[in-house]
Amino acid sequence: MALAALPAAPVAAHPHVFVAAGVEIVFDEAGRIAGVRLSWTYDEFFSFMLTEDLGLDPDGDLAMTEPELAALSQSVLDWPVDFGGDLFVIQDGRPLELGPRTEASVAYVGGQVIERHFRPLEMPVAAGTPVSVQVYDPFYYVAYEISPDIILQGAEDCAAELRKADLNAAYSLVDELLYGRPASDVGPDEAFPEVGEAFSDTVVVSCNG
């Protein structure tokens, strides 16, 4: 995440950065979920700001030289220490431990910055009991939307279902958390507690047998 670009304590009530999230569920030989491969495609405006900030692609031909791409990668992949990766894998209501990212890379396609990496599960799990995968910024400064083309890699007899966020419920939650009462005579406001999860799409993976 190009979080260096974001404030130390993100407090926005509405997102300023939009990310299309590609999700690939990776299975091991035993048919268990081994981890999640993510791709984050940043919106054009934010991408443009990132590249301009670094003085990259000055001719605007949407192509970068090797050194330029290296500079972009270095900046984007430099996660702040307190950034957890915005990935959440849950089974039976229990969050599963994720290992550090591997295979991290950055691409620049058509003026958009794309960040990719793999997050292994500390303990691979069988998806006989469904596993939920969510990608969200708890502070909703970044709005992720999971792309519908979910890949199940190495899976046998498994299915993935994409459940879109219930925005009505999400905004009601914001109102209740912020004002301690249901939405009434005032609108939601500038900043709110960690409500990003409510705005999150969810991929539900389940396998037979």
Partner 1 sequence: MQRLIWIPAVLAVAAAVWLFGMGGAARVAAFAAEGQREVQNAMAGALRALRAGEPDALFTLWALCFGYGFFHAAGPGHGKVVIGGYGLGRRVPMLRLGGLAVASSLAQAATAVVLVYAGIFLLGWSRETLQGLADTGLDALSNLLIAGIGLWLLWRGGRALWRLRVADPALPAGQTGGVEDLSGLGRVADHAKAGAGAVCETCGHAHGPTIDQASEVRSVRDGAMVVAAVAARPCTGALFLLVLTWRLGLVWAGIAGAFIMALGTATVTVAVAIASVSLRESALLQAASGTGTLRMLSALEALAGAVILTIAVHLLLR
Measured from the Cβ of residue 43, the count of other Cβ atoms closer than 10 Å reads 18
d(CA 153, CA 67): 33
Window 76 to 135, contacts with partner 1 (CB under 8 A): 111
> Mask of contacts with partner 1, 188-207, x by CB under 8 A?
xxxxxx--------------
Window 172 to 191, contacts with partner 1 (CB under 8 A): 172, 174-175, 178-179, 183-191
Residues 136 and 197: beta-carbon distance below 8 Å: yes
* Residue 196, both tokens: 């990003």
In the complex, the smallest distance separating the C-beta of residue 5 from partner 1, rounded to whole angstroms, is 7
Q: Does 52 bind partner 1 (CB under 8 A)?
A: yes
How many CA atoms lie within 13 Å of 119's alpha carbon, on the beta-carbon side? 20
> Helix H segments across 17-165?
44-53, 66-77
Residues of this chain that interact with partner 1 (CB under 8 A) are: 4-16, 18, 43-49, 52-53, 55, 60, 111, 143, 167-172, 174-175, 178-179, 183-193
